Amino acid sequence: MDSLVTVPVGDLRFDVRVGGPEDGPAVVLLHGFPQSSSSWRPLTRLLHAAGTRTVAPDQRGYSPGARPAEVADYRLAEVTGDVVGLCAALGLGPVHLVGHDWGAIVAWAVAARHPELVRSLIAVSVPHPAVFADAIAHDPLQRETSAYMAMLEQDETADLLLAEDAAALRLGFGTDVPADLIERHLEVVSRPGAMTAALNWYRARHGDWPQVPAVRVPTTFVWGAADVAVTESAARACSDRVTGDYTFEALDGIGHWVPEQAPEVLAAHVLRRIGNSVRPD
């Protein structure tokens, strides 16, 4: 069973779910929008049973003690620094890094810029940031499917998303996310200031993604073939930004919410990558 602890990183305080055998390989799990660390609960049960140690923070803006006010506080350098600081505070490293959605963006960047801290990378749903930025700029279909991002940057969006018992967010989760996890996610993002902070990730993204270098650590990218937010061409282009051992896994019939919709399949890919990982030079 996971335990909820508070971990200081600089002036911030992160809520972190930790669990599994203390002597197991460390797996750091980074959630996306508009989720929380609870998105990993179906997966962590399987990883714990396989002998791994898991560390899943509520990321910047989602943890009440890590909610700075300025948009610039949510630049990629800041949120990747949180992961580096969290690993240092917990005495972890190198770790196996798993990220979904925005957590995948952070995980790609940490692996690219701090390879000495990452034993392996498992990115879920969202491709390498430079690949994704290029697809949005030059692929008409990806530009169309990513048009929602501009809406999320508007000042009134936080109120709209939380209106009528967060009806818009519930619609976005659909039937792929269990009801109890939806309630947990909504509890987190409905706290004062949390939704605005979560949306600041989108407002602060401009110019950051294309600057992320290639990844040289052992990497697996897991993408749901029914994902309406990321096109197949963008997903497959990730191979251009990985110079280390690389595996691409497309999951037929699975949408965007892979950790909640297909935890057994994802666990198999995570454990396979952990078992096959070799430290980068």
Query: What is the pTM assigned to this prediction?
Result: 0.96
Q: Which of 158, 161, 122, 146 is nearest to 30 (CA)?
A: 122
CB distance 74 to 102 below 8 Å? no
Please, which pLDDT band fits residue 2 given cuts at 50, 70 and 90? Answer: confident
pLDDT at 93: 82
Q: For the chain, what percent of residues have pLDDT higher than 70? A: 98
pLDDT tens digits, one per residue of 22-54: 999 999 999 999 999 999 999 999 999 999 999
Please, which pLDDT band fits residue 281 given cuts at 50, 70 and 90? Answer: very low
Residue 120 clears pLDDT 60, i.e. is over it? yes
- Paired strand residues for 8: 13
pLDDT tens digits, one per residue of 199-235: 999 999 999 999 999 999 999 999 999 999 999 999 9
Please, which pLDDT band fits residue 277 given cuts at 50, 70 and 90? Answer: low
pLDDT tens digits, one per residue of 127-185: 999 999 999 999 999 999 999 999 999 999 999 999 999 999 999 999 999 999 999 99
Q: Which residue has the tokens 């969006």?
A: 157
- In angstroms and rounded to an integer, the radius of gyration of the C-alpha atoms of the chain is 17
Burial 133-170 (b: 16+ CB within 10 A, else e): bbbbeebeebeebbeeeeebbeeebbeebbeeebeebb
